[in-house]
Amino acid sequence: MAFLHIPNVRMAGISACVPRHILENTQYKFFTQGEAEKFIESTGVERHRVANDDTCTSDLCLAAAEKLIFDLKWNKSQIDSLVFVTQTPDYIIPATSCILQHRLGLSEETVAIDISLGCSGWIYGLYVLSNMISSGQLRKGLLLVGDTTLKPCSFEDKSTYPLFGDAGTATAVEYDKDADGFKFHLAVDGSGYSAIIIPDGGYRNRVNLSSLDIKEFEPGIKRNKLQTVLDGMNVFSFGITKAPESVKKLADKYEINLEDVNYFLFHQANKYLNEKIRKKLNIPIEKVPYSLKNFGNTSSATIPLTMVSEIAKDLTTKKLDLIACGFGVGLSWGTVHFTTEKLVIPEIIEY
């Protein structure tokens, strides 16, 4: 069982950066009469942010990181670890974390790695980075997490395009010998790998002439094989089962009283699915913030973005007991329990 307690690390701050350009879900032509309203009611997504053609996930994360480093008053020469989590990197090779070390002006003596995960990515990235720092051999780390999920989505696919949004985030983690750190439950089920997939473009199915053929799967769903396929039913069935189970497992293992937790930060999949999870765990609605309405499902960025956009005031002024749970593409999922005290959180940045 993948239960992991990583002590002697603390979260110092979080920032988020979203593209300036807003698209309203009432505007799309792929929705038939009344369909947009139904979509908004069930998913909770009214609008979303879309990055322009020149903007990559790394640009959004870079802007978020620069502002956070400035507000934390960290000296860049002290930062010795960088984990970048995304499924929309700058290039197939090299790893984007290498480029980010240079663009951020960090020391050559920095450990920098990429992780390819989506909905569960912030949880896994936090595990890897906090584990790197926990022994005290590395001291200050940046967890840069985000996606420009709309880039690989077909503009003519009503099952993906109106749901997702683009965002980049930065989370600062540092060594603290007195900190209790983070407690994780992490899990994976690769039998569900095709539930969210871009079929072509990797090395299993290399780009070929037919990769760009556009096929209509049903009215309002047209895409090619370099675009994201979302099997909504399988993801839903997975989410309502595994997310609450993971939270319960973590609570049982570490004897966490769920009533003592101030906020539950769930990956923002869609409102209907997330509300099922909340109700299964009997959590009052005021403890479960949502950023879906204005930002949509921003893949790996949903949890830190929700913290910055919805509960920054409490995070910056209070001591809080938190549980965060990410679940999705992979299929991969994980839950973390931690406390925060007066986090540094800059205003949300528009790029």
Partner 1 sequence: MELNEFIKNLANTFEDANPDTIKPDTRFRDIEGYSSFIALSIIAMVDEQYNVKLTGDDIRKSVTVKDLYLIIKSKM
Q: 92 CB contacts (<8 Å, ≥6 apart)?
A: none
Q: Is 243 an interacting residue with respect to partner 1 (CB under 8 A)?
A: no
Task: Tell me which of 119, 273, 303, 312 binds partner 1, using CB under 8 A.
Answer: 273
Report the nearest approach of partner 1 to the CB of residue 274 (Å).
Answer: 12
Phi, psi (5° rounding) for residue 72? -75, -15
User: What is the footprint of partner 1 within residues 69-108 (CB under 8 A)?
Assistant: none
Give the residue with the Cβ less far from partner 1, 78 or 194: 194
Q: Does 33 bind partner 1 (CB under 8 A)?
A: no
Q: Which is nearer to partner 1, 46 or 180 (CB)?
A: 46
CA gap 127, 181 in Å, rounded: 10
**Taking a C-beta distance cutoff of 8 angstroms, is the pair 333, 202 a contact?**
no
234 binds partner 1 (CB under 8 A): yes
Peptide bond before residue 289 is cis, with ω within 30 degrees of 0: no
**Residue 325 within binding range of partner 1, rule CB under 8 A:** no
For residue 320, the cross-strand partners are 340
Question: Based on CB atoms, which residue is closest to partner 1, 49 or 271?
Answer: 271
Q: At residue 117, what is the residue type?
A: L
Q: Which of 253, 276, 287, 293 binds partner 1 (CB under 8 A)?
A: 276
> Does 222 participate in binding partner 1 (rule CB under 8 A)?
no
User: 29: burial class by Cβ within 10 Å (0-12, 13-18, 19+)?
Assistant: exposed
159 interacts with partner 1 by CB under 8 A: yes
What residues between 291 and 310 interact with partner 1 by CB under 8 A?
none
Residue 38 interacting with partner 1 (CB under 8 A): yes
- Distance separating alpha carbons of residues 214 and 217, to the nearest angstrom: 10
Q: Map residues 170-209 to x or -, x wherever contact with partner 1 holds by CB under 8 A.
A: -------------------------x--------------
Each residue of 277-308: b (16+ CB within 10 Å) or e?
A: bbeebebeeebbbbbbbbbbbbbbbbbbbbbb
Both tokens of 98, joined, read: 């290498």
Query: Which residue ranges make up the site for partner 1 (CB under 8 A)?
Result: 38, 42, 159, 195, 231-234, 236-237, 240-241, 272-273, 276
